[in-house]
Structure 1
Amino acid sequence: MEAAVIVFVITWVFFWFNIRGRKIEFQTSLAEKQKKLDEVLAYNTRLWKENKQLRADYDELKEQQNTLIDLIDESESIEKLKALLFESEEEEGSYEEQKIVIPEKSKPKIYQTFYFLVPNKNGTFSDSNNTAFNAARHMYQFTILNEQGTKARFKFINHELTTKDALTDPQRYLRPVCTYENAITARSKQIITVEEGWADKEDNIWTVTQKAMIHFD
C-alpha cells in the first residue's frame, strides 16, 4: 500500500513539473514571438518615416532643379539679346548705349482645383465636379495640369467626416482609385496621401491612369 502511494506521489510530482516546464517554455516562446513582432512593426514604421522623408527630399530637389532650369533659360535669353544688340550696333555704326530689356520670369500657372465624392467601380469619376470644397461631401481633390483641362493629379482629402465613411466602406470609396501602403486596422483614424494619382479626361469622364498611394494612420 505504502509503495503504491509513493509511486502515485512520484508520478504526480513528475507530471506537475512536466506541465509547469511546458507552460514556462510556452510563455517564453510567446514572449519571444511578441518581441519579434514588435521589432518588425517598429522597423516598418521607421521605413515608412524614412520613405516619407525621402519623398520630401525628392520634391525639394525637383523644385530646385526646375528653378535652375528657369535660371539657365533666362541666362540664355539675355545672351541672345546681347548678341543681337552688338550685331545691330555694328551694322548701323552706332555706339549709343542701348538698354537691354531682361524678360520677367514667368509666373507659375495656377491650375484649376475641383472636388469629387465617390469614384465609380471601374476607376473613373463622372464630370459632376465642384470647385467649392464641402467637407461633408467631397473626398478627392483634383488639380488640372494642362490648358486643355484633360490631365489632372488627385489626392484623398483627409477630413474627419469623409475619412470616417471611407474607413467604414473602403471597397466603395478607396479601392477603385487607390493603392494601400499598409493595412487598415481598427485603430486607423487618418488616410494620408503618400503619392498623388493621375487621371485623364475624355467625354466628360475622368479615367484614373495611375492610382494614388495612401497610408492608414
Structure 2
Amino acid sequence: MFGRMHAALTEEGMDPRMSLVVATPHGLRLPGFVRVFMESIFEHQVSSLAEFSARGRDPLEPSNTTAEGHRIRCFKEVTLCKFHNRQGAGLCSAGAHLLHHYADRLPPTAPLIDPGADSDALKVVFASRPNATGRSILNEADLLAACAALDPAAELGAEYGGPYRRLKCVAHAYGRDLMLDMALAQVTDVLVATHGAAGSNSFLLARGASYLEVLPYRFSPAWANVYYARMLELDRM
C-alpha cells in the first residue's frame, strides 16, 4: 500500500494535505508501521476508519488528522483508493523516500554494525524471529559463528581482490524499532531472511546490496520463489 500511495503522490498528483483514513478489518487499530510510513508522505496524522468515524465525541476535539485541526466528519470530497496488484508499486523509490524523510532521526547501528570499524567487512544481517513457531532459522547461533569464521580470500582463492577481509555477521529482529531497521538496512551488504515480511527490508537496502531468501523445507515454490523477485522486477519496468 505504501508504495502505491507514494507513487500516487509523486506521479499522479494526489494531494498530501488530504486526511488519510485507512479501513482495517473489524475496526482494528493501525499497526505502528502504517503511521511511520504514511506520515512521511501526508501532512496530517493517519487514522483508522474506526477512529475517524467514532461517535459521541466532541466535534471540536483537537485532532492532527485534519487540516482544520479538530475532528471533522463531513467532507466535500472523498477519494477512494483500492489497490488490485503490485504492478508499478515503486517500492524501491518509496523506500528511498522513507530513508530521506527520516534521515536525521535514524539511530546509530553500532554495536550491531559499526560503519567505521567494520568498513573492511562484508556485513551480513540475519533476520531473526525469536518467538516464531514457523519460518525461523533454528540453528541461528551456529550459522552466525560459521558465517563470522569465513575468510573471503581463502574461500575465493588468490584471484580475490575485493575490499572485504572478513565477514561481520549479526542477527536482528525486525519490526521492533523501525528507525533502527531503516538505519541497519543502509549499512547491510547481505540480508538473509526466511520467506516472510522481513524480506520487505530488501527495498531499503543500499545499491549493490543483496537479499538472500530462505524457504522452509517443502515450502511451496509456486509463487514464493518469485514473490520478492517479481516486485523488484516490476520496479524496473
TM-score in same-fold range (> 0.5): no
Which protein is richer in helix relative to its size? Answer: 1
TM-score by length of 1: 0.23
TM-score by length of 2: 0.21
* Largest Rg, 1 or 2: 1
Which structure's relative contact order is higher, taking Cα pairs within 8 Å and 6+ residues apart?
2
